[in-house]
Amino acid sequence: MSYQGTKINPTKFHRSQLKFYVFLIPLAMFMMLPIIFIVFHAFKPVNELFAFPPRFLVQQPTLDNFKDLLGFAGDSGIPFSRYVFNSIIVTLSVMFLSVFMSALAAYALSKMKFKLRAAIFETNTVALMFVPIAVQIPRFLVIDKSGIMDTYLAHILPLLSMPIGLFLMKQFIDQVPDELKEAAVMDGAGEFLVFRKVMLPVIKPALATVAILSFQLVWNNIETSSYYVNDESLKTVSFFMSTLVSQNGNNVAGQGMSAAASLLMFLPNLIIFIFLQSKVMNTMAHSGLK
Amino acid sequence: MASIRIRMTNKRRKALVGTAFISPWIIGFFIFALRPMIYSLYLSFQKVKVTPLGIKTNYVGWDNYKYAFVSDTTFVEKVLHYLREMALNVPIIVTFSLIIALLINQKIKMRGIFRTIFFLPVIITSGPVINELLSQGVTNIPNIESYSMFEMVKQSLTPAVANPIMYLFKQIIMVLWFSGVQILIFLAGLQKVDHSLYEAARIDGASPWEAFWKLTLPMLMPLVLVNFIYTIVYISTFALNEIIVMIKDNMFNTTTGFGYATAIAWIYFVLIAIVLAIWSLLLRTRKS
C-alpha cells in the first residue's frame, strides 16, 4: 500500500501492484493444484494411475476409465439416468428450501423483536458444534417412525436444517442497516414484502454462499441413501458411485473407475460453484451494504 | 388507554409474524437435529446393540465415558492432538484469510479471478476431490517434500532456517484449503468500510500500517470472532477429522458399539464448546 498520490483506483497494471502478485500468484497456483490433479487423474491409463510419487499431469490420456464406468453401470439393472434424476430432484429441493428457510429464520432473528429470539440463536450455535454422525441412529428412528422411509422426503427432510447456513445468514443480515427496513415499513410494506423486496436482494452474497454449501452437502451425501432408503430406484448418484468404488476398490480397474467417477461427481460441484460465486462477488460491491 | 391497547396488539402481532417466519426452521430443527441429539445423549449411557429385530439398550451408567479416558488409549491421544490443532491452526487460518482478503480487496488487475480461486477450497474440502486426493496420498505431506521446489528450499538453506519454512509450507496446504468462506466473510466486511475514513486518516498523517490497526481491524473485529467460530466448527466437524473417523469406526463396532460412539461424540462436543468459549473470551477482552 505505497503512496500513490491522488490516484486511488489504478485501472491499469502498475509496478506498485507487483508485490501483490508476488504473493497472490503462487498461492493461487497452489489452490488450483488439487483440481488439476483430479481432472488429469481421471484420464490416466493404468500404469500411470499407480505411479509413485503420483504425477500431476497425464502422459498418455485415455478414455478407458470412463468406458469401464459406463460398462459397469449397465449391469446393475437400474439405468444410470434414474440415479441422476433422483439426485437432481433431491439436490434442487434441498438447496431451495434450506436457503429459503434459513433466510427467513435469519431475517426474523436479526430484524424482528420477539421472545426467545436470543435463545433460539444460542440453540443454533450449540447445534453447530454437534457432530452430525453422532445422531445417525436417533435420526433413523425419527424417520422410521414418521413413515417417510423409501420416499424422496427421507432424502430431503433430514438435510433441510442447516445450522451453519442460519449462522452465516444472520451475520450477514446483522450488517444490513435497520434504516433499510424502516424505510420500506414507512412506505407501508408488510414484513414478508420487506423480506422479499428489500432483504433478499441485499443479502444475495449470503444466499449464494449458503446455496453453494448446501449443494455440497446434498450432492455428495450418501448417508440418506444408505440408511433411509432401501428401494434401489430411489437412491442417488453419489451413493451409486460409492458402491461402484467399494465393490471394485481393490482391483486395478476399480482404481480407474473411481478416478473417473470422482471427476464426474466433481463437475456439477464446479459448475454450480462457478455459476453462483460470480453472484457472490458481483453483488457484494454494490449491495447497498456500504 | 386506547393507545396502550393498540401498542400491545401491535407488539403481539409483530411477535406472531416473527414466529411465523421462523417456525418452518424451528420445526425442522427440533425434529431432525435437537431431538436426535437428546436421544443420543440418552444412548451414550447405554450399551447399544443393533439387532435385526431392532435396537437393544442396556443401562451402563458412566462406563462409556470412563472407557474413553481409561481404557481407550487412542482417544486421549487424539484429543490432545485436536486441542493443539485448535490452539495453533485456527489463529493461523484466520490471520491468513484476513491477509488474503486485504490483498484481493486491493485494486489490482484480475482480482475477480483471484477471488474465485481463493474461494475454491469450499468445493475442494468437501466431497469427491478430497477423498480422491486422500486416497492418492497427495495430501500426505511427506510426498510434497519430494517436489523440486521444496528440495531447493532444503538444499539452499541451513536446517535451522529451512525447517520453520518447511513447517509453514506444510501448514499452508491446510490453511489454504480451510480458508475459503472466511476470506469471503472478511471481504464482505472490508467492502463495508467507508473510504472517506481512510482519506481522513491519511490527511491526519497516518501510514497505511497505522490505518490498518486503528481503522480496519477494529471495524473487522466482530467478523474476526465470526471467523474464529466458523473455522473451529468447520475443522471440528470436517468429515475426515480424526475424532470423527473414530466415532464412525466405533458406531458399528461390535465390542464398543453405538453407545460408546455417542459417548465420544458428547465428550468431543463439550471439548468444541470449551475451545469456542476460550477463543471468544480471548477475543472479547482484547476488543475492550
In contact, B35 and A127? CB cutoff 8 Å: no
Give the nearest chain A residue to B235 (CA atoms).
A129
Q: Within a domain: residue B80?
A: yes
Give the nearest chain B residue to A27 (CA atoms).
B176
Q: Which of B127 and A227 is assigned the larger pLDDT?
A: A227
- Selected for mutation to probe chain A from B12, B22, B56, B130 (highest A CB count within 10 Å) is B22
Give the mean pLDDT of B217-243: 83
CB contact under 8 A, B25 and A161: yes
Confidence (pLDDT) at A286: 44
A246 CB neighbour count, 10 Å cutoff? 11
Q: Within a domain: residue B44?
A: no
Residues of A in contact with B184 (CB under 8 A): 205, 209, 280
Residues of B in contact with A24 (CB under 8 A): 103-104, 108, 114
- Selected for mutation to probe chain B from A100, A120, A131, A267 (highest B CB count within 10 Å) is A131
Amino acid at B285: T
CB contact under 8 A, A191 and B109: no
Confidence (pLDDT) at A224: 83
The highest-confidence range among A84-98, A107-121, B122-136, B220-234, by mean pLDDT, is A84-98
Residues of B in contact with A50 (CB under 8 A): none
Contacts of A42 (CB under 8 A, 6+ apart): A65, A66, A259, A260, A262, A263
Amino acid at B284: R
Give the mean pLDDT of B142-149: 54
Q: Within a domain: residue B276?
A: yes
CB contact under 8 A, A37 and B133: yes
pLDDT beyond 50 at B288:
no
Q: Within a domain: residue B186?
A: yes
Query: May I ask the CATH class of domain A78-249?
Result: mainly alpha
Counting the structural domains of chain B, the total is 1
CB contact under 8 A, B55 and A137: yes
> What sign has the CA pseudo-torsion A237, A242, A243, A244?
positive
Confidence (pLDDT) at A14: 64
Tally C-beta pairs within 8 A across A and B. Answer: 263
Cell numbers describing residue A126: 450449540
Assign residue B198 the CATH number of its domain.
1.10.3720.10
CB contact under 8 A, A112 and B14: yes
Residues of B in contact with A54 (CB under 8 A): 136-138, 143
CB contact under 8 A, A220 and B126: yes
pLDDT bin (cut points 50, 70, 90) of residue A184 is confident
Question: Over the stretch A80-123, which tens digit does the pLDDT of each residue have?
Answer: 788 888 999 999 999 999 999 999 999 988 888 777 788 888 88
So what's the ipTM on this one? 0.73
Can you tell me which residue has the cell 490483498? B103
Can you tell me which residue has the cell 497427495? B138
Question: Over the stretch A185-236, which tens digit does the pLDDT of each residue have?
Answer: 888 888 888 888 888 888 888 888 888 888 888 888 888 888 888 888 888 8
In contact, A235 and B146? CB cutoff 8 Å: no
Share of chain B above pLDDT 70, in %: 76
Q: Which domain holds residue B261?
A: 64-125+178-287
Confidence (pLDDT) at A220: 82
Give the mean pLDDT of B248-254: 77
DSSP character string of chain B: -HHHHHHHHHHHHHHHHHHHHHHHHHHHHIIIIIHHHHHHHHHTTEEEEEETTEEEEEE-TTHHHHHHHHT-HHHHHHHHHHHHHHHHHHHHHHHHHHHHHHHHTS--TTHHHHHHHHHTHHHHSSSHHHHHHHHTTSS-HHHHTTSHHHHHHHHHS-HHHHHHHHHHHHHHHHHHHT-HHHHHHHHHHHHHS-HHHHHHHHHTT--HHHHIIIIIHHHHHHHHHHHHHHHHHHHHT-TT-HHHHHHHHHHT-TTTHHHHHHHHHHHHHHHHHHHHHHHHHHHHHHH-
Question: Over the stretch B54-67, which tens digit does the pLDDT of each residue have?
Answer: 777 778 888 888 88
Give the nearest chain B residue to A161 (CA atoms).
B29
Interface of B with A in 19-38 (CB under 8 A): 19, 21-22, 24-26, 28-29, 31-37
Whole-number average pLDDT of chain B: 77
pLDDT beyond 80 at A20:
no
- Residue A197 is given by DSSP the state I
B71 CB neighbour count, 10 Å cutoff? 10
Report yes or no on whether pTM surpasses 0.80: no
Residues of A in contact with B272 (CB under 8 A): 129
Give the mean pLDDT of B63-77: 84
**What are the extents of the domains in chain A?**
18-62, 78-249
Q: Within a domain: residue B79?
A: yes
B212 Cα distance to chain centroid: 25
